[in-house]
Amino acid sequence: MAEVFVSIGSNTQREVYIQRCLDALDAQFTKLQLSPVYESEAVGFVGDSFYNLVASFKTDLPVGELSKQLKQIEDDNDRCRTAEKFSGRTLDVDILTYDALIGKIDGVTLPREEITENAFVLWPLAELAPKARHPVLAETYQQLWLDYDKTKQALNPVPFIWRDKDLSA
């Protein structure tokens, strides 16, 4: 089974849609692990702040099938596919890594560039898997976060409970 890391974000009814996403992931995949939840400003557009976190799980689905499953979770949670690329959304779930695969696989670019570009991806990933290594850069996520320019994006831990589990930093 492959180990997968995904980013999860919502800026519309954030608590509701993040909870629903976690329920769906937990129902479909094994060994679900979760980072703390963070609040971040919208990037690329003016809009409400997002809640973001990173999840890891095991799957035997190929990359393309996994991508379809994650898009279905988004669709099941009122994701509007006709909205502008940079706009508010109920739910955004993106594959960050799939084992150590590199390149474009089934239409999915791995690892996802956002890992090193956005604090709302890198910080939760570094919290969840500090010793894991970026497949291309070979640096740990903890080291990448230590080296990240933290003045680029405002990001704050928020209190969050899912199924009696505290996902607060």
Could you tell me the domains of the chain? 2-166 (3.30.70.560)
pLDDT at 81 over 60: no
Q: Please, which residues bridge with residue 105 across strands?
A: 108
Answer whether 65's CB lies under 8 Å from 28's CB.
no
Mean pLDDT in residue range 90-105: 96
CB contact set of 150 (below 8 Å; sequence gap of 6+): 119
Distance CA 103, CA 95 (A): 13
pLDDT tops 60 at residue 35: yes
Confidence of residue 84 (pLDDT cuts 50, 70, 90): low
- Looking at the predicted structure, is the pLDDT value of residue 89 above 80? no
pLDDT for the residue numbered 36: 98
Average pLDDT over residues 22-42: 95
Short-list 153, 145, 150, 99, CA closest to 124: 145
Number of H helices, E strands in the chain: 5, 10
